[in-house]
Amino acid sequence: MEFVHEIVTSINNLDAKLINFDSTSVVDPLEGIKHWHRSIEIIYIVEGYQFTEIRAKRIINKPNDMIIINSSDIHACGKYLNSKI
């Protein structure tokens, strides 16, 4: 299988799943793995760098970038450790 279906569950009666990732956080089990879900995904970069791959196009995200991933779009996200941008 080339990708997995992530089932997004809400927390505290919010219609959203909120996750804070940073360079010291525990590795996301889906980091770098192509996946999809039925909800949209909104990513806002506070610090550091992240890669986002959507429909086989890789984008390097920097602080203050916002990424919106449409529902059912196959994508992957993860830390971008190369400091040369």
Domain range list for the chain:
4-79
More confident residue, 39 or 27: 39
Q: Options 2.60.120, 3.90.1580, 1.20.58, 3.40.30; which CATH number does 4-79 get?
A: 2.60.120
Q: What is the pLDDT of residues 28-73, one digit of tens each?
A: 555 677 888 888 888 888 888 888 899 889 899 898 998 888 888 8
| Nearest C-alpha neighbor of 34 from the set 67, 74, 69 | 74
Residue 18's pLDDT is what?
Answer: 60
For 57, the 3-state DSSP assignment is: strand
How many other C-beta atoms are found inside a 10 Å radius of the C-beta of residue 76? 17
Pairwise CA distance, residues 82 & 85, whole Å: 7
Q: Has residue 20 got a pLDDT over 80?
A: no
